[in-house]
Amino acid sequence: MIDLIKECSAAQNIGISGHIRPDGDCIGSTLSLCLYLRKVFPEKRVDLFLEPYAEAFQDVEGIDAIDHSFQGADHYDVYFCVDCGKDRLGDAEALFDAAEKTINIDHHISNKNGCGDVNYVEPEASSASELVFDLLDPGYIDAKIAAAIYMGIVHDTGIFQYSSTSPKTMRIAAQLMEYGFDFSQLIDKTFNEKTYHQDQIMGRALLESILFMDGRCIFSAIDHKTMEFYDVCGKDMEGIVSRLRETKGVECAIFMYEYEPLTYKVSLRSCGKVDVAKVAAIFGGGGHVRAAGCTINGTVHDVINNLSVHIEKQLEG
Ligand code: 5GP
Ligand code: MN
């Protein structure tokens, strides 16, 4: 466990970042850490740099703390990398590398050794937000900080349902509720609610999904033209792969979208038999046993051919 207050007490400038294409846990963990450090150390500069987030998060309390410029202080005394290893920090990687002291808080098995001078990496944890909670002095937590952590946990556990949800996760959620925030609205606004365009693209992806390997695998792909037609980007397609995974009989689901010509962002989900973090790692990606991702060049068929060899090996092994 890290003593956050001790690690930061000598610093003047503190930076925080999470992974590219930030999701709910990435936003919740970094935002709660930022709000907390600003409260504990009002005299210090605490910057939070993340790439633009989905519209669904725009009403989250304190979200204005997030800066998309990646232009901060000349130098950071402490820099936090949260919810990923430094290879997924995007523009923040240079800030992290240049910092005096680096701290990594993560729960990805693919980053189990950590990338900081100081590391708190627990692959068993439901979310990076849960790990941030571990490190906070409860005396400084308020409704805003609690809501951000709660949101992160909700997103990475699929509202407390994925197998990464532990009794500890539930106890933390219960403690957070005591701070008093509208958890029901937070879940609806940031997790459940979809725009009309998101509904349309989900429908299209499900309609065109294909079962293979005797129904044990399913995939769906959205090319760039289709993304333009429905006016959606990657952030709008979160949730599709989880829905595919819930198809009866399916062990492993693949969803991909073409974010550059012949370059696919691939999301993998498993019911537990296939370790998709291992599959993603073969293609330079990573993640968790049941949820992972990577980027692969080629046509849809190339991508499926490449992935299915490794998935089939595990299903038969
Ligand atoms: P998603 O499919 O929702 O984008 O990601 C599933 C999980 O895999 C998340 O925990 C995410 O952080 C991780 N992940 C997704 N893409 C990549 C990638 O390209 N590299 C690594 N290391 N992890 C990824
Ligand atoms: Mn996470």
Say which CATH number the domain at 231 has. 3.10.310.30
Does 57 share its domain with 93? yes
Does 126 share its domain with 204? no
> Which ligand 1 atom sits closest to the C-alpha of 23?
3
Which of 140, 166, 192 is the last residue in one of the domains?
192
Does 122 share its domain with 12? yes
* Domain CATH number, residue 10: 3.90.1640.10
Give residue ranges with CB within 6 A of ligand 1: 19, 88, 108, 110, 241, 267, 285-288, 291-295
What are the pLDDT digits (tens) for 263-305? 999 999 999 999 999 999 999 999 999 999 999 999 999 999 9
Please give the distance, rounded to the nearest whole angstrom, from the Cα atom of residue 84 to the centre of ligand 2.
8
Does 150 share its domain with 205? no
**What are the strands of the beta sheet with 78-82, ordered from one edge?**
66-67, 45-49, 13-17, 78-82, 101-106, 118-121
Does 184 share its domain with 213? no
Does 208 share its domain with 297? yes
Does 168 share its domain with 265? no
Q: Cα separation of 199 and 196, whole Å?
A: 5
Domain count, the chain: 2
pLDDT given for residue 59 in this prediction: 97
Does 212 share its domain with 184? no
Residue closest by Cα to atom 12 of ligand 1:
287
What is the residue range of 186's domain?
Answer: 4-192
Which of 169, 192, 215 is the last residue in one of the domains?
192
Does 236 share its domain with 168? no
How much is the pTM?
A: 0.95
pLDDT given for residue 1 in this prediction: 87
- Interacting residues of 314 by C-beta distance below 8 A, sequence separation 6+: 273, 274, 275, 278, 279
Tell which wins on pLDDT, 317 or 203.
203
Does 136 share its domain with 283? no
Mean pLDDT of 243-264: 97
Does 159 share its domain with 202? no
